[in-house]
Amino acid sequence: MIVNPTPITAATFNGFWITNVQFILGTGKPGILQADLLPYDGQHLLATGGKRVSEVKLVQKATTDAPIAAMLTALNAEITRLSGNADAFNILTVSAPDPAKPVSIAVLWQAIGDKKSASYVIKDAYALAATDPQFAGVFSSTMAAIAGLAGLIVA
């Protein structure tokens, strides 16, 4: 055995980072929420030991699960406020693959009948949260709800 004079000390990965979230809500369909979380030490992500949230029948669950209902209601209201589009969104994706990069959010409305498809993008959710306390509250509560669905406690 060769003794390393400067051994590597591992950080404590005592948190989780939500790397991506996807809401898929179709008209008259049950809806899906998927999210991936990776262990996080405040600086680095650990590639293993992650958690996955997969909630199917999300819209139906919202009628019986108060936290899910509150999350979806607040999310829809905030997207309406920011985008000016009063229709319920079909797809919302949060992408945060690296804590050192901006967190982006993309919202899609699919074409139905005579309505055209539309989209709305937030390129940097943290920059928006720094200037818009209402968005910050909804963003934080949504991520906390997702962490709760993963069985985690938000400190």
Q: Is residue 114 a part of any domain in this protein?
A: yes
Q: Is residue 20 a part of any domain in this protein?
A: yes
Q: Cα dist. 46→27, 65, 93, 144 in Å?
A: 37, 32, 22, 20
Average pLDDT over residues 64-80: 92
CB 90 within 8 A of CB 76: no
pLDDT tens string 100-121: 999 999 999 987 777 788 999 9
pLDDT band at 30 (very low <50, low <70, confident <90, very high): confident
Indicate the pTM of the whole model.
0.88
Q: Is residue 6 a part of any domain in this protein?
A: no
Q: Is residue 155 a part of any domain in this protein?
A: no
Residue 2: both structure tokens together: 């060769």
Question: Higher-confidence residue: 5 or 79?
Answer: 79
User: Domain of 48?
Assistant: 15-149
pLDDT at 4: 78
**How many structural domains comprise the chain?**
1
* Closest of 72, 96, 135 to residue 16, by C-alpha: 96
CA gap 108, 120 in Å, rounded: 7
pLDDT tens string 56-69: 998 888 888 888 89
